[in-house]
Amino acid sequence: MSTLPLIYDQSMEDLQSIIQSWDEPAYRASQIWQAVYHRLVHTPEEMTELPTALRQRLAESFDFGAYEPMRCVRSKDGTTEKVLLALNDGQSVEAVLMHYDRRQTACISTQVGCAMACTFCATGQMGLRRNLSAGEIVIQALHFARQLQREERRLDNIVVMGMGEPFHNYQSLAQAIRRLNHPQGFRFGSRRMTVSTVGLIPGIVQFGNDFPQVNLAISLHAATNELRNQLIPANKRYPVEALLSACRAHVDRTGRRVTFEWALIQELNDGVGHAQALVSLVKGLRCHVNLIPLNPTSTYPGKASSPTHCDEFVRLLSKHGISNSIRVRRGLDIEAGCGQLATSS
């Protein structure tokens, strides 16, 4: 495995400084940046606009690794693909590509494992191995973008909902968003990106200041501290009342609605009382509730709510004017659904 620094970990300013130190014209940095992020090349040899000597020096100085997957699996219905990407230190990370009728969505990771220990999440059950660098986050999106480019399709949405808690690795997350959004590079629109958090309030505040146009999603799953403490240990530090206050401030600051994610777990958080508590919690807040029947994991005994309970939950939210939808569960046969990502390496 390469010991060279990842090209994807370099900012435009970093590249400009390096190129100038090599006594090359400053505009060469822009050419390299656009080749990597716009044309999606992953070897210096493909940068034919550059002199041969510069291409050779780039190859000697940086890892342009295409990061071919160690494993790639596709769901039986063809709507979901999951890849296991090897990292340079022997660790690995999973990422998912979801195909919809008119859009393609990449679900990418920010950590190997996760420290949040949410009880129903396979990644949380792994524990935290390490944070990903900004380049290691970016390369997941570029991997799928290259694949779709070969298929004459494009990547339409990026959701940072894979392995890890994004705000627990905020600096790398922020750099990755800037790389993906850069007007001279990948040029991926802010409003086509969504970041999901279990509710780390300092991260929510910083995120709203730094990226007011990027969508925010909150893994909520319970409307009371008693139940949420059981499901999401981070709630003990950032309880529901404080979290919702931060969400209201975020909406006021950005003008963007917040999405709340709610895994419907049989006889745990899917009753009439739970729906009513959620209504009371979010009433008047510009938000949308994404409901999804629980995806199974090997070490959590909970089961998905029945269709009847799901429908009743939706009916109660809708009755009170709370925007909501039930997400179709995807990729269960390849363990690519929400909360199912994990690696054994």
Residue 339 domain-assigned? no
Whether residue 17 is found in the same domain as residue 140: no
Whether residue 93 is found in the same domain as residue 232: yes
Q: Are 71 and 84 in contact (CB under 8 A)?
A: yes
Whether residue 122 is found in the same domain as residue 32: no
Please write the tens of the pLDDT for every residue from 235-294: 999 999 999 999 999 999 999 999 999 999 999 999 999 999 999 999 999 999 999 999
Cα distances (Å, whole numbers) of residue 245 to 172, 216, 241, 269, 274: 26, 14, 6, 22, 20
Region class of 41: left (phi > 0), else alpha (psi between -120 and 50), else beta: beta
Domain count, the chain: 2
Higher pLDDT: 85 or 327? It is 85
What's the pLDDT band for 338 if we cut at 50, 70, 90?
A: low
Q: Which pair of structure tokens corresponds to residue 43?
A: 């070897």
Query: Alpha-carbon torsion 341, 78, 159, 328, what sign?
Result: negative
For residue 66, the tally of other CB atoms under 10 A from its CB is 12
Tokens 């779709």 correspond to: 148
The C-alpha R_g of the chain, in whole angstroms, comes to 21
Whether residue 45 is found in the same domain as residue 107: no
Residue 342 domain-assigned? no
What's the pLDDT band for 297 if we cut at 50, 70, 90?
A: confident
* Section 21-44 average pLDDT: 95
Whether residue 43 is found in the same domain as residue 137: no
Q: How far apart are CA 192 and CA 258, in angstroms?
A: 14
Residue 344 domain-assigned? no
Please state, rounded to an integer, the average pLDDT across all residues of the chain.
Answer: 92
Whether residue 81 is found in the same domain as residue 127: yes
Tokens 């390496």 correspond to: 345
Please count the residues of the chain.
345
> Which residues are identified as catalytic?
94, 338
Assign 11 to helix, strand or coil: coil
Whether residue 55 is found in the same domain as residue 77: no
Cα distances (Å, whole numbers) of residue 271 to 146, 222, 266, 274, 277: 44, 11, 9, 5, 10
Q: Is the pLDDT of residue 335 over 60?
A: no
Residue range of the domain that includes 13: 7-61
pTM: 0.94
> Which of 131-135, 238-242, 312-316, 338-342 is the least confident region?
338-342
Largest CA distance in the chain: 69
Domain boundary among 61, 82, 99: 61
Whether residue 198 is found in the same domain as residue 272: yes
